[in-house]
Amino acid sequence: MTANEHRTTVWPWIVMAVAGFHVFVASMTVPPDALQGQLSRIMYVHVPAAWLAYLAFGITMLGSAMYLWKKDLKWDRRAHASAEIGVMFTGMTIVLGMVWAKPTWGVWWTWDARLTLTAIMFFVYLGYLALRRTTDNLDMRAKRSAILGVLAIVQVPLVHFSVIWWRSLHQAPTLLNPEGPSMDTSMVITLLIAVSGFTVMYVAMMFKRIELSRLEDAVLVSEQTSSGPIAGHGITSPDLTGGS
Amino acid sequence: MRTDAPSFLAQVMTIVRRDLLRERRSGEVLWVTLPFGAIALLLVPLAIGTDAPTLQRIGPGMFWVIVMLFGVLIAIRQTNAGTQAQRDMVALTGLDPAAIFVGSTTASFMLLLVFETILGIVTIVLYDITPTGWVALPTVLVLAAAGLALLSTLAASIVSTGRSATALVPLLVAPLSVPLLLGATQAWEALRLGRSSLPWVLLMAIVGLLLAVVGVLSARPLQETA
Amino acid sequence: MSDGAVLVDLEGVSVRAGAVRILDDVSLTVRAGEAVGIFGSNGAGKTTLLRLIATLQPPQGGRCSVFGADMYSVARYDVRHRIGYVGHTPGLYPELTLLENLAFVADAQGLPTSEALRSLELVGLGGAADRRADHSSHGMQRRTEFARILMTGPELLLLDEPHSALDADAINLVDTLVHRTVDRGGAAVLVSHDRDRMNTLTTRTHEIKNGTLL
């Protein structure tokens, strides 16, 4: 471990700030939706957050599979960082969706397939993060969470499929509509700016989180390899002479 | 001293016999988890009202939710409860970890079938349900029990002996059991409306198959006693 | 004495629990025909060392092979049935009888179930075979563990504090087990804080102190 590896980087913070600012300006200057008014601005955060959630969980699956293949902790750190960011954005997607749904649909929650699936994904990866807290052994932690990550690869598409099959009432996907986007061009451009801004933020966050994980692991490893206390040193001969 | 290692099937049967014998002695499933599930079915009407049409409509769904949530308890009953000394003893018998996985899953599957059958009768009585589909219904019961046994045993071996293991397994199992829950409830719904339940039965079968593959492949890497 | 095949080979092995060092740079070779005694005070790392040799405790560093199988490799699954380990707490299922507990091990190793009853009789528990483990005393549970060793006849015998909480008969039983294993060309490793008994029973002894073998 060289001193260089302990240096923390600043550029991810700058990138996050710049990208966030762009998204903010774009979503505030675009004209409001004809039907939904100012409320439609939530879309510029809600849609990219949802996209990030899926992207992040995809990267977690990739990291888990790569760890099982290469047995390199770097892949475990990537999988973990992505899962944490994913859980955060899934939570954000759900809450913003609720805020949007209440005035638009009249309810906080509706039981359509995409909503249900997002909520289930949130809990699957919450479990993944909880699993990582159960052991301090780096290799064992990596192995167990990677197997769960792969189990999710196997199961999430089936969850997705079964939920879609069960019910689909949600409006058709906004951007990927085969007959072309059903929105005003300025709104489409803003949405694209927001999605790419969020993706850039995701990349910066990944760098920052992986850097932090590397430092956390380095602390654990140095504790576990340097001259730590010896187990038997906690025990001395009983001294009962001073007892009253 | 042993001469030849017992066959895989013999090893599986060793684990099944052990688990069923332990259950017969302790009665944990029969006298604790089963009554707990039955009282849950009794509490629901007390909370939401007891008019016959409502109960008939929600009965099957309640049955499956309770089977999924309480069934996890059956599948993890002894996985985490073992002491370090017991786990050491099992590891040094030289049993193939994959055989241990298949054996534990099989024992849980058999206990879950009993659990489902008795709770099913309770549901029929309390919620005034008329079961239909004498071929499809048992198939769904079997597939649900198999899927849940596989999923819970797998989750229990992933969590293994980590901190707060018993609390974590249900959190891992619940969201991933959605295809099983939907498969079971929708197959029932299809039967009731006279439609084909085959797609849902197939879905459950695929889930079970995939879980079995992941479980067997991950058994050795996961057998860590430390 | 020391020209038998190498059964256990540890080289610079270390084990840690978080930051705490339990074993530090331990090297030990055990050959067939040897009975090795290891003594030390509480917390010296005796139990960890024994579980490490039993392939139950993965090391964080160093090389460790048992019957020529590397601890890190999957080959350890194929040598485990040749190891007989008795920890200081009995690993019995409390709701099963003593006989059922042994029958499970017999089953798992492909031995006839009659062997289970026979070895219980050999350790003097023939009359208590149908008693549940949780209704049996600690001493009876330990004797059941020794019956398991008699039944499976391991080539490598690992005993953790074998003489604690035993009556004179049972202590003789432990000594017999060690002699039998060694006479048949196996090896034994015993761990204890009782130095005198170690000296009479073993071919050589080591002291373990603060996680280091002296």
Flag whether pLDDT at A172 surpasses 60: no
Helix (H) or strand (E) holding A48, with range, is helix A43-70
Which residue, among C5, C29, C183, C157, has the nearest Cα to C82 in the 3D structure?
C157
CB-nearest to C96 from B21, B88, B97 is B21
For residue C111, what is the domain's CATH number?
3.40.50.300
CB-nearest to A231 from C43, C60, C61 is C43
> What residues make up the domain containing A91?
41-170+185-215
Task: Label residue B1 by pLDDT band (50, 70, 90).
Answer: low
A230 to C20: CB separation less than 8 angstroms, yes or no: yes
- For residues B56 and B188, the answer to whether their CB atoms sit within 8 Å is no
Nearest chain C alpha carbon to B6:
C110
Largest CA-CA distance found in chain B, in angstroms, rounded: 66
Asked if the structure places residue A9 within a domain, the reply is: no
Rounded to 10°, the helix A43-70/A11-29 angle is 150
Q: What ipTM does the predicted assembly reach?
A: 0.89
Q: Which of residues 95-154 of A touch C (CB under 8 A)?
A: 136
Nearest chain C alpha carbon to B97:
C77
Residue C195 and residue C176: Cα distance in Å, rounded?
Answer: 19
A155 to B210: CB separation less than 8 angstroms, yes or no: yes
Q: Which residues in chain C have their CB less than 8 angstroms from residue B6's CB?
A: 107-110
Mutate to test the interface with C, among A137, A139, A217, A230 (most CBs of C within 10 A): A230
Nearest chain B alpha carbon to C154:
B1
Asked if the structure places residue A243 within a domain, the reply is: no
Residue-wise DSSP of C10-73: EEEEEEEETTEEEEEEEEEEEETT-EEEEE--TTSSHHHHHHHHTT-S--SEEEEEETTEETTS
Residue C58 and residue A138: Cα distance in Å, rounded?
Answer: 13
> What residues make up the domain containing C169?
6-213
Report in angstroms the alpha-carbon separations of C188 from C59, C198, C208: 21, 12, 17
- The DSSP code for C96 is S
Flag whether pLDDT at B98 surpasses 50: yes
Flag whether pLDDT at C100 surpasses 90: yes
Asked if the structure places residue A223 within a domain, the reply is: no
Asked if the structure places residue A157 within a domain, the reply is: yes
Residue B21 and residue B220: Cα distance in Å, rounded?
Answer: 25
> How many structural domains does chain A have?
1
Flag whether pLDDT at A74 surpasses 60: yes
Helices (H), chain B: 8-26, 28, 34-48, 52-75, 84-92, 97-127, 136-159, 165-176, 178-192, 198-222
At residue A3, the pLDDT reads: 45
C18 to A229: CB separation less than 8 angstroms, yes or no: no
At residue B226, the pLDDT reads: 41
Nearest chain C alpha carbon to B26:
C95
CA C162, chain centre distance (Å): 9
- B129-136, Cβ contacts within 8 angstroms, sequence gap of 24 or more: B129/B56, B129/B59, B129/B60, B132/B191, B132/B192, B133/B191, B133/B197, B136/B187, B136/B191, B136/B197, B136/B201
Asked if the structure places residue C57 within a domain, the reply is: yes
Helix (H) or strand (E) holding A85, with range, is helix A73-105
At residue C116, the pLDDT reads: 94
pLDDT (tens digit per residue) in B52-87: 889 988 999 999 999 999 988 888 876 655 678 888
Q: How many angstroms away from the CA of B25 is the closest CA of chain A?
A: 31
Amino acid identity of residue B110, one-letter, is: M
Interface residues of C toward A, Cβ cutoff 8 Å, are: 16-22, 24, 40-45, 60-61, 209-211
Asked if the structure places residue A22 within a domain, the reply is: no
Flag whether pLDDT at A30 surpasses 90: no
Residue A83 and residue A103: Cα distance in Å, rounded?
Answer: 31
Rounded to 10°, the helix A43-70/A138-166 angle is 130
pLDDT (tens digit per residue) in B111-157: 999 999 999 999 999 998 888 878 888 999 999 999 999 999 999 88
Tokens of residue A169, six digits: 């009432």
A158 to B210: CB separation less than 8 angstroms, yes or no: yes
Residue C157 and residue C177: Cα distance in Å, rounded?
Answer: 9
Asked if the structure places residue B2 within a domain, the reply is: no
C210 to A230: CB separation less than 8 angstroms, yes or no: yes
Flag whether pLDDT at A168 surpasses 60: no
Residues 6+ apart with CB under 8 A from A172: none
C110 to B10: CB separation less than 8 angstroms, yes or no: yes
- The DSSP code for C74 is T
Asked if the structure places residue C1 within a domain, the reply is: no
At residue B2, the pLDDT reads: 57
Please provide the average confidence, as pLDDT, over all residues in chain B. 87
At residue A224, the pLDDT reads: 66
Asked if the structure places residue B1 within a domain, the reply is: no
> How many structural domains does chain B have?
1
> What residues make up the domain containing B69?
8-224
Touching check for A180 and chain C: CB below 8 Å?
no
Q: Which residue has the higher pLDDT, C134 or C72?
A: C134
> How many structural domains does chain C have?
1
The predicted model gives A139-157 an average pLDDT of 84
pLDDT (tens digit per residue) in C131-158: 999 999 988 999 999 999 999 999 999 9
The predicted model gives B25-47 an average pLDDT of 90
Which of A224-238, B10-24, C172-186 comes out lowest in average pLDDT? Answer: A224-238
Residue A42 and residue A94: Cα distance in Å, rounded?
Answer: 12
Most confident of A35-44, B73-82, B212-221, C192-201: B212-221
pLDDT (tens digit per residue) in B15-29: 999 999 999 998 888
Flag whether pLDDT at C53 surpasses 60: yes
